[in-house]
Structure 1
Amino acid sequence: MSASALRLVLATRNPGKIRELRGILADIGLDVELLSLDEFPAIGDIPETGLTFAENALIKAHAVASATGLPAVADDSGLCVDALSGMPGVFSARWAGGHGDDKANLDLLLAQISDVPDGRRGAHFACAAALALPSGTERVVEGTMSGAIIREPRGTGGFGYDPIFVPEGGPRTLAEYGAEEKNAISHRSRAFRPLASIVAELLRAM
Structure 2
Amino acid sequence: MKKEEVKVVTGNKRKFEEMNQIALQYGIKLSMINLPKFEIQADRLEDVVRHAASVFYSILNEPIILEDSGLFIEALNGFPGPYTKFVKKTLDINGILKLMKGEKNRNAYFKTALAYVNENEIRIFTGEVYGKIAEEARGNKGFGFDPIFIPEGSEKTFAEMEIEEKNKYSHRSKAFKKFLDYYIHL
| TM-score, structure 1 normalization | 0.81
Q: 1:168 Cα deviation (Å)? A: 1.0
Q: What are the equivalent positions in structure 2 for 1:172-191 lying under 5 Å apart? A: 172-191=156-175
- Cα distance in 1 for partners of 2:56, 2:177 equals 21
**Match for 1:22 among 20, 23, 26?**
20
Amino acid at match of 1:186: S
Percent sequence identity over aligned pairs = 30
- Cα distance in 1 for partners of 2:98, 2:33 equals 36
SS of the equivalent of 2:11 reads: coil
Unaligned runs of at least 5 residues, structure 2: none
Establish whether residue 36 from structure 1 lines up as the match of residue 32 from structure 2. Answer: yes
**Match for 1:49 among 41, 56, 60?**
41
Partner residue, 1:62: 54
SS of the equivalent of 1:201 reads: coil
Establish whether residue 71 from structure 1 lines up as the match of residue 63 from structure 2. Answer: yes
Consecutive aligned runs of 4 or more in structure 1 exceeding 4 Å deviation: none
- Cα distance in 1 for partners of 2:185, 2:58 equals 21
Contact 1:18 1:36 in 2 (8 A): yes
Unaligned runs of at least 5 residues, structure 1: none
Establish whether residue 127 from structure 1 lines up as the match of residue 126 from structure 2. Answer: no
| TM-score, structure 2 normalization | 0.89
SS of the equivalent of 1:123 reads: strand
Amino acid at match of 1:46: F
Q: 1:73 Cα deviation (Å)? A: 0.5
Q: 1:28 Cα deviation (Å)? A: 2.3
Which structure has the bigger radius of gyration?
A: 1
**CA RMSD across the alignment:** 2.0
Deviations 1:113-148 (A, max 9, x none): 21312xx1100111111111133x021111111111
SS of the equivalent of 2:56 reads: helix
Q: 1:7 Cα deviation (Å)? A: 4.2
- Cα distance in 2 for partners of 1:44, 1:81 equals 27
**Number of matched residues?**
186
Structure 1 residues 63 and 166: alpha-carbon distance in aligned structure 2, compared to 1, 3 A threshold? same
Contact 1:93 1:105 in 2 (8 A): no
